[in-house]
Structure 1
């Protein structure tokens, strides 16, 4: 009970002092301060710049399992008025990463008291999940490359699902997401003589129309694809000037990495064709890439077993979640899975300004991770 109280205190401290992607310095210091009382056998700092890993080693050689949480908050102004409200203007934990961190720290408490029988358990505190850059920075860090886990696991809290319910799915758990930036350059002219310039407006309209025609929004069907316009900029507020440049941003979602690759090429070809049609110079770029999270069958079975042993209610999800999660990079390279942890039917949605992680599900997350670790490291 005392340890659970400390986890809640840590969660609220993290919530009060949030940091956006890539700047999680103080967040890391708070976690490391907590871990001093539950010292790991090895601590690897500066993973992907602001991330780190705590490793608890078994008495004998064996399999290695990695559990990941995220360190970053979002650029959202909090509307809650409780005592642990964010003090950092325009920044708040609206995805529950403060709770995910507390769960991993709770696992550290258990592993410190009861070391794995064999192998090792790695607790990865990953930076910059929200902008899609953190997993890649960690994965390609030479200090991470030597770890080579046999299994990788992560969870995400899920508003709109029963409190403490475990949500599982084989195959794709979260979708592939990529963001496209299209820059079009024509030529300005007098607004009274637009024919003497090259205005990108018709090309932008056609791109939006053509992209919209390729949407297949039912993720229970094959070739799921959602293309969402995010931002448009064209010309300036000079009413005597016909615009000469324009820019439009989209997010693109698919239920598989292979389908995403096909979509990217299709959309690039389409944009270049439309730009050529309107005599525009075109520059394309992609940012904030999230690989689809593909759950390994055996890893999901371990999750189911852990839930059963703990007497937690399990929901078998039929279709993938449509949001992106950069843990998908790890499940591309290692056997593993992500699962959902219900955070309440009436909890505000993720990224809502009034969302707050429910502390009552911390213990469930800790017990799930601990049982999963035992299934792997206590097996001979």
Structure 2
């Protein structure tokens, strides 16, 4: 067991040193495939261009369970100076997907050493989670279109929670998220004569105020809605020119897909009014949509039972997480659940430039995932 832990830590740090952003996980895919080839007895299938599925089948027919790990990194410059720091400038594993991948590789090792007797286990190494495209790409892949799945599970490491603690919640686990880029096209003019052009500044200020007024950042409220400005730009650093172009980008988050849709329509109606008032051409582009992870009660029961068998502490939270996770698309289609694995009370937060996945929780994830698989296959 200690040898496996060291092996997983080694591969995790190799992945950390060579991170790749969404859709570009080609070398990551090769590293995962090499580990599986050398350490597991399974069928390896390439899916969604840069993803992989490791298929383990028992001798008898039975249920099929999918366990998923995300494999992409983020466009964040790492500030850590440890030996395994990222070698790819401006890209780093600041969400712990390197750790999630190591956990699933450990499960592959366990399934090889202790094979299943019946049913099927699919270990999905999924690309493009961070931009919200990966789950949809996987579900549209011919392999998954021809594969029946009874249960699907995923975990996410959670800074701020005690190490090894299992965090569960029935129903909504993560938020629905949708992003929008608003482009405002006007007309440049001399800065001394702005009245001869159409400057988007006042419209941008009004849009920002609108977003603040329409938000209700109360996570314990059923009508929680958060509209967060993430990027604003306007004009150029040319001090003789009155700007003629600007952009505002937001993310919208809510527990309720209908509420997000209502706010989308309200925002677009508001933009149409601004277009007339300020003589601008305004276009809104919507992208990076994440569906809420809706955890199935039976799946949660399986997680809790498996965690109890591993003598793990269980934390049943009442309020969902406000971040998005594209595993939600799988829970729209399959019975399943996402749960949390505590990464330490004092760990830097996810997406922070100084975050690093704690290797001492890897085997906890391995054993729990393996136990969940056995639990499902014995149903």
TM range (shorter): over 0.9
- 1:16-45: CA deviation from partner (whole Å, max 9, x where unpaired): 211111111111111111111343432111
Aligned to 2:190: 190
Give SS of 1:222's match: coil
Give SS of 1:174's match: coil
Q: Distance in 1 between matches of 2:172 and 2:20?
A: 30
Aligned to 2:344: 344
Following superposition of structure 1 onto structure 2, how do residues 1-380 of structure 1 map, counting pairs within 5 Å?
A: 1-45=2-46, 47-379=47-379
Q: Distance in 2 between matches of 1:345 and 1:262?
A: 37
Q: Distance in 1 between matches of 2:169 and 2:267?
A: 30
Q: Distance in 2 between matches of 1:257 and 1:118?
A: 38
Asked whether the equivalents of residues 68 and 153 of structure 2 are also in contact (C-alpha less than 8 Å), the reply is yes
Q: Distance in 2 between matches of 1:167 and 1:3?
A: 25
Q: Distance in 2 between matches of 1:79 and 1:240?
A: 38
Give SS of 1:261's match: helix
Asked whether the equivalents of residues 69 and 100 of structure 1 are also in contact (C-alpha less than 8 Å), the reply is yes
Asked whether the equivalents of residues 225 and 254 of structure 1 are also in contact (C-alpha less than 8 Å), the reply is yes
Give SS of 2:56's match: strand
Q: Distance in 2 between matches of 1:225 and 1:40?
A: 47
Q: TM-score scaled to structure 1, two decimals?
A: 0.96
Q: Distance in 1 between matches of 2:42 and 2:104?
A: 16
- 1:238-276: CA deviation from partner (whole Å, max 9, x where unpaired): 333322222111111111333222222222222222222
Residue 323 of structure 1 and its aligned partner are, at CA, apart by 0.9
Give SS of 2:315's match: strand
Asked whether the equivalents of residues 33 and 44 of structure 2 are also in contact (C-alpha less than 8 Å), the reply is no
Give SS of 1:120's match: strand
Q: Distance in 2 between matches of 1:36 and 1:340?
A: 29
Q: Distance in 2 between matches of 1:178 and 1:92?
A: 23
Residue 152 of structure 1 and its aligned partner are, at CA, apart by 0.8
Give SS of 1:32's match: helix
Asked whether the equivalents of residues 77 and 353 of structure 1 are also in contact (C-alpha less than 8 Å), the reply is yes
Q: Distance in 2 between matches of 1:87 and 1:247?
A: 32
264-273 or 283-292, larger mean C-alpha shift: 264-273
Asked whether the equivalents of residues 40 and 54 of structure 1 are also in contact (C-alpha less than 8 Å), the reply is no
Q: Distance in 1 between matches of 2:193 and 2:38?
A: 73
Q: Distance in 2 between matches of 1:200 and 1:81?
A: 42
Residue 236 of structure 1 and its aligned partner are, at CA, apart by 2.3
Asked whether the equivalents of residues 159 and 347 of structure 1 are also in contact (C-alpha less than 8 Å), the reply is yes
Question: Displaced runs of 4+ in structure 1, greater than 6 A?
Answer: none
Residue 52 of structure 1 and its aligned partner are, at CA, apart by 1.0
- 1:136-179: CA deviation from partner (whole Å, max 9, x where unpaired): 21121222211231111000001110010000001111111111
Q: Distance in 2 between matches of 1:23 and 1:93?
A: 14
Q: Distance in 1 between matches of 2:156 and 2:372?
A: 16
221-230 or 184-193, larger mean C-alpha shift: 184-193
Give SS of 2:227's match: strand
Residue 69 of structure 1 and its aligned partner are, at CA, apart by 0.5
Q: 1:303 to 1:180 in 2, by over 3 A?
A: same
Asked whether the equivalents of residues 234 and 246 of structure 2 are also in contact (C-alpha less than 8 Å), the reply is yes
Q: Distance in 2 between matches of 1:243 and 1:83?
A: 46
Asked whether the equivalents of residues 60 and 118 of structure 2 are also in contact (C-alpha less than 8 Å), the reply is yes
Q: 1:156 to 1:87 in 2, by over 3 A?
A: same
Give SS of 1:231's match: strand
Q: Distance in 2 between matches of 1:111 and 1:372?
A: 12
Q: Distance in 1 between matches of 2:307 and 2:351?
A: 27
Where in structure 2 are there 5+ consecutive unaligned residues?
A: none
Residue 326 of structure 1 and its aligned partner are, at CA, apart by 0.9
- 1:280-329: CA deviation from partner (whole Å, max 9, x where unpaired): 21111012211111111111111111111111000011111111111111
